[in-house]
Amino acid sequence: MNAPDHIAPSFVGVTYEDTIRQARELVPALRSRAARAEAARAMLPETVSDLHRIGALRMLQPKRWGGMELDFIAYVDVPMELARGCASTSWNTVNLSIHEWMLALYDERAQADVWDANPEALIAAGIAYPQGRARVVDGGFVISGKWNFSSGVNIAEWCMLAVTVRGNESEGEKIIDHRMCLLDKSQYEVVDDWHTLGMRSTGSMTVVVKDVFVPEYRALCAYDIRGGDGFPGAPGNPNALYRVSLNALGGHGIAATAVGNAMAALEHTLALVKERSTNYTGLKMRDQQIVQHRVATAAVKIDSAKLMLRTDAIEAQNLANKNVVPDTQQKLRYKRNAAYAAVLCTEAVDALHAVTGATGVYQSYPLERIFRDAHALAAHISLNFDAQAPSWGLVALGGEILNPTL
């Protein structure tokens, strides 16, 4: 593992308001770096440095490890601001920060393995359980698998990898458990295969593991993180923040990236229309009703998506404060809402891109990248409304969902 080359700062006492303000102040710099970051297919070192400086990656980390331990609403609002500058930066902030939150749920020994050496350590993940396989051995598990879309893994020191645990041959290799296994970077291979339509600087590469032993204390059971205080790290991290249901609301951060990206599209479009309304021709864009209609429709979709995500995050925090675990239909409503927020934002970006006309095809114009990013991020399974909506509909109609990790 890598020890820090400096003393990691503490962000205990840094407020939500401080963090939002500093995230907002980063927007101009992120916009100026976006093209270079795309070319590099990774977050630039100066951007990583800025995120460390303002503590954005540690907003959900426990205070006793030097983090902010902010309420869950920060998981929506901070990336929303950052995405106004660069969707990829926001996306990685979402992923790297929620993994800090997840580590707080692990056994105390796993937390110490990472944060004793470096409280600023970056943790990536591969979250698709079917992509990993584990067998039980003395003291833990031996895991293998290939996980794609591991955002930020190219700059992370650790990775959390989801696996299905199967029984022995006599049991028909039935799935008996689901675990999130914590590995340091010496234990896995990163395959540089991230060549994509959009979200290029997330570095969401593939992780490969073959027959690696993971001690049980570094293998968090997925059934312990469905909400409530039954997780191993609860004695050391009793804050209600860590009682929020991860599987129900994990997608809200990346949906917030979609909102911030759409907000950026609106800001750039308004600036363009105003500019074209003050030129020397007789026709002003702002006086065209179709332009007014498209801009207004896009804005209300963005506002609606933002309100939906924030309402869910606040509601989930309030439930966690009471140590109440949402029921299945509530959890599926959250997942449905995150996906629909992304739908609204993609529609908004598409409409705004159409307003720009031929300008929108130039790589030098920010909306070209924003358009690609909107469609690339919407491909995430958590933001796929066709995948998320039917489950809520089934339960609402009296059906049953069999998902042990929910």
Phi-psi bin for 156: left (phi > 0), alpha (psi -120 to 50), beta?
beta
Check pLDDT > 70 for residue 278: no
Assigned token pair, 286: 């702002």
Token look-up 């995150």 returns 338
How far separated are the first and last CA of the chain, in Å rounded? 32
The highest-level CATH class for domain 123-222 is: mainly beta
Token look-up 């399974």 returns 381
In the chain, % of residues over pLDDT 70: 96
Check pLDDT > 90 for residue 2: no
Q: Which pLDDT band, with edges at 50, 70 and 90, does 281 fall under?
A: low
The C-alpha atoms of residue 360 and residue 340 are separated, in whole angstroms, by: 25
Residue-wise pLDDT for 165-214, tens only, equals: 998 766 667 999 999 999 999 999 999 999 999 999 999 999 999 999 99
Average pLDDT on 8-27 reads: 97
DSSP string covering 289-329: HHHHHHHHHHHHHHHHHHHHHHHHHHHHHHHHHTT----HH
The C-alpha atoms of residue 266 and residue 314 are separated, in whole angstroms, by: 26
In this structure, is the dihedral angle defined by the CA atoms of residues 89, 178, 224 and 138, taken in order, positive or negative? negative
The C-alpha atoms of residue 98 and residue 58 are separated, in whole angstroms, by: 9
Residue by residue, what is the 3-state secondary structure of 220-288?
EEHHHCCCCCCCCCCCCCCCHHHHCCHHHHCCHHHHHHHHHHHHHHHHHHHHHHHHHCCCCCCCCHHHC
Angle among Cα 158, 2, 61 to the nearest 5 degrees reads 55
Any bridge partners for residue 332, and if so which?
none
**Cβ proximity of 126 and 162 under 8 Å:** yes
Residue-wise pLDDT for 365-390, tens only, equals: 999 999 999 999 999 999 999 999 99
DSSP letter, residue 9: P
Quick check: helix, strand or coil at residue 74?
Answer: helix
**Cβ proximity of 303 and 349 under 8 Å:** no
Token look-up 């720009």 returns 356
Assigned token pair, 388: 């998320």
* CATH number of the structural domain 16-115: 1.10.540.10
Token look-up 């109440």 returns 324
The least confident of 158-162, 245-249, 251-255, 355-359 is 355-359
Token look-up 């593992």 returns 1
Average pLDDT in the chain: 95
In the chain, % of residues over pLDDT 90: 90
Helix residue ranges, H only, 104-226: 108-115
**Cβ proximity of 217 and 106 under 8 Å:** yes
**Cβ proximity of 34 and 85 under 8 Å:** yes
Give me the pLDDT at residue 126, please.
Answer: 98
Domain ranges of the chain: 16-115, 123-222, 246-396
SS3 content of the chain, % helix, strand, coil (to 5): 55, 15, 30
Residue-wise pLDDT for 22-52, tens only, equals: 999 999 999 999 999 999 999 999 999 999 9
Average pLDDT on 252-264 reads: 98
Give me the pLDDT at residue 357, please.
Answer: 85
Residue 367 carries which side chain, given as an amino acid letter? L
Quick check: helix, strand or coil at residue 306?
Answer: helix
Q: Which pLDDT band, with edges at 50, 70 and 90, does 13 fall under?
A: very high
Give me the pLDDT at residue 284, please.
Answer: 85
Check pLDDT > 60 for residue 16: yes
Residue-wise pLDDT for 136-178, tens only, equals: 999 999 999 999 999 999 999 999 999 999 987 666 679 999 9
Helix residue ranges, H only, 118-251: 246-249
Judge if 16-115 and 246-396 fold alike in CATH terms.
Answer: no
CATH superfamily of 246-396: Butyryl-CoA Dehydrogenase, subunit A, domain 3 (1.20.140.10)
Give me the pLDDT at residue 3, please.
Answer: 43
